[in-house]
Structures are given as C-alpha cells and as structure tokens.
Amino acid sequence: MAIDPALLGILACPQDKGPLFYVEDENFLYNPRLQRKYPVRDDIAVMLIDESVQADAAEHARVTALIESRGIKATFGA
C-alpha cells in the first residue's frame, strides 16, 4: 500500500510550503529545493522538520536523477 493519491496531491514541505516528490520504493518524500527527505512510515508521511534528513550533495544528485529517470511527478503544481 502507498500514500493515498488524494492526500499525496496536497502534501507540501512544512518548511517552504512547496511541492515534494514521492519516492515510493525508498519510502520518502523529497524536497529538492532544500535537499530534505521526509520519511514515510507505514504509508504515513512524517511531515515534521525535526524528523527529516538533510541530503548531502551526492545524495541530492542521486535522488534528483532518480526522480527524473522515473518521471516522478511533484505532489502539486507541476
């Protein structure tokens, strides 16, 4: 099971209020603007800044390439 598509369509980064990218098989939502990963646990997005992980440059490049190669769409606005 994954995040409900209706919920996914409205999820935003709690810090900059922008859209996120859901990398379902790795269980996180990603904000490329802030290079921040939000975990998804038991199909629930943990949208707390304190629970997020800052991606380093290498991880940002990996995740950005993954999003592009898979055609992952932003949660909204794109």
Let me know if residue 5 belongs to a domain: no
Structural domain span for residue 76 = 23-48+59-78
Alpha helices in the chain (DSSP H): 5-8, 57-70
Instruction: Give the helix/strand (H/E) hosting 53.
Output: strand 53-54
pTM above 0.85, yes or no: yes
Give residue 22's pLDDT: 97
Give residue 77's pLDDT: 80
Let me know if residue 4 belongs to a domain: no
Give residue 1's pLDDT: 62
Let me know if residue 15 belongs to a domain: no
Let me know if residue 14 belongs to a domain: no
Let me know if residue 65 belongs to a domain: yes
- pLDDT of 24-73, one tens digit each? 999 999 999 999 999 999 989 999 999 999 999 999 999 999 999 999 99
Burial class (CB in 10 A: 0-12, 13-18, 19+), 36: buried
Let me know if residue 72 belongs to a domain: yes
Total domains in the chain come to: 1
Query: In this structure, are residues 42 and 4 in contact, taking their beta carbons and an 8 Å threshold?
Result: no
Residue 27 CA, distance from chain mean position: 9
Give residue 2's pLDDT: 84
